[in-house]
Amino acid sequence: MHTDPDYSAAYVVINTDSNVKGFGLTFTLGKGTDIVVCAVKALSGLVIGKSLQDIVGDFRGFYRLLSSDSQMRWLGPEKGVIHLATAAVLNAVWDLWARAEGKPLWKLLVDMDPKQIVSCIDFRYITDALTEEEALDILIKAQEGKRHREEQMLKQGYPAYTTSCAWLGYPDEQLKQLCRDALQSGWTKYKVKVGADLQDDIRRCRLIRDMIGPRNSLMIDANQRWDVSEAISWVSKLAEFRPLWIEEPTSPDDILGHAAISKALAPLGIGVATGEQCHNRVMFKQFLQASALQFVQIDSCRLGSVNENLAVMLMAHKFKVPVCPHAGGVGLCELVQHLILFDYICVSADLSNRMCEYVDHLHEHFTCPVLIENAHYMPPKSPGYSCEMVESSVLKHQYPDGEAWKTKIA
């Protein structure tokens, strides 16, 4: 579906009257990033001049200010380019807050009182699925054992799965070598891209399953390639390889289509995963209410930053659906690790069928890149949301004046 991505990001820096800065971003595939930047600039007037304390003292109100400006909401509301820009700005605000407190973002969240967490969430449009009182009750109940789970994460890390072994277009020998290397590094969960050619998918899934063995987990990802009936037929023919889920089988907006696919594949033991292009908490609410997905894939740069992801994680817990975040791209691994650590420590308290995506590229461009040990995300220790990019990378790749772009244009 995305045949020629040019991985990019709209990068936001918030300066303050102290020496503390906030860094944020949203991920894009190249063309159109300048449109997101224009949207960020349009939102900047709602941020410049405010104090950090005023923002975090009424974070729900500040979220609504950015997401529901009476004129700019016409461009969404809470979807598309304007919501990507909102995510970038809010990611920078959360990074600034965590830096000001001297904590990594996950730790900032873990140390918050449940009432303070709830105060960051905009419950508008989702109270038929999750009320403020229900969210508070979930968080209070999860206080039991919280410190033990935090210590567990610091020692063991959060389980990850790899997408790096089985992209479409890799020759067989490369697939085999990547699987061998991953197995030696302790990986037990693998995702295979599918959807271009059925016979090729059958061959590649057989190859990967033979390489990783019967006990390791296999997931498949179609990146929105099929209509509903085609998805059901295609995935049914891959059932012999026992995929845990089919990811993004059809249009990310088709909630009832996902529900039909989920119902048809349930007897085969195959779940449906989606969310990386789910616009907002309202769509996630409907996916959950319709039993249209069995794995929630939050994205740190698609939804309205931490605020909206908190709402989705709490709804997922109420509906007993595991959260398995989308990552990869530019900085998505760096950001989403914080969210999933919070989910385990303070919400779900459960690791069953839970994992976070990992793709091994572009981490060198961040000042605090992810640390993977034995196929687990190790909790970051540096203050902030892990959003800050290496200055030399910013200068080299900034559009259109960076050296990388000058060479490309030439």
Q: What 8-state DSSP symbol labels residue 32?
A: T
The one catalytic residue among 193, 279, 317, 376: 193
User: Residue 110 in contact with residue 342, Cβ under 8 Å?
Assistant: yes
State which H helix or E strand residue 295 sits in.
Answer: strand 295-296
- Is 193 catalytic? The answer is yes
CA distance 383 to 267: 46
Strand-strand pairing, 158-162 and 376-377: antiparallel
User: Residue 105 is encoded by which pair of tokens?
Assistant: 């973002």
CA distance 410 to 407: 5
**Cα 29 to Cα 4, 13, 205, 389, distances in angstroms:** 8, 20, 27, 18
- Is 320 catalytic? The answer is no
Helix (H, G, I), strand (E, B) or coil at 272: strand
Q: What burial class does residue 80 get, using C-beta atoms within 10 Å of its C-beta: 0-12 exposed, 13-18 middle, 19+ buried?
A: middle
Q: What 8-state DSSP symbol labels residue 345?
A: I
The one catalytic residue among 258, 279, 317, 326: 326
User: Residue 53 in contact with residue 131, Cβ under 8 Å?
Assistant: no
User: Residue 312 in contact with residue 276, Cβ under 8 Å?
Assistant: no
Active site residues: 193, 326
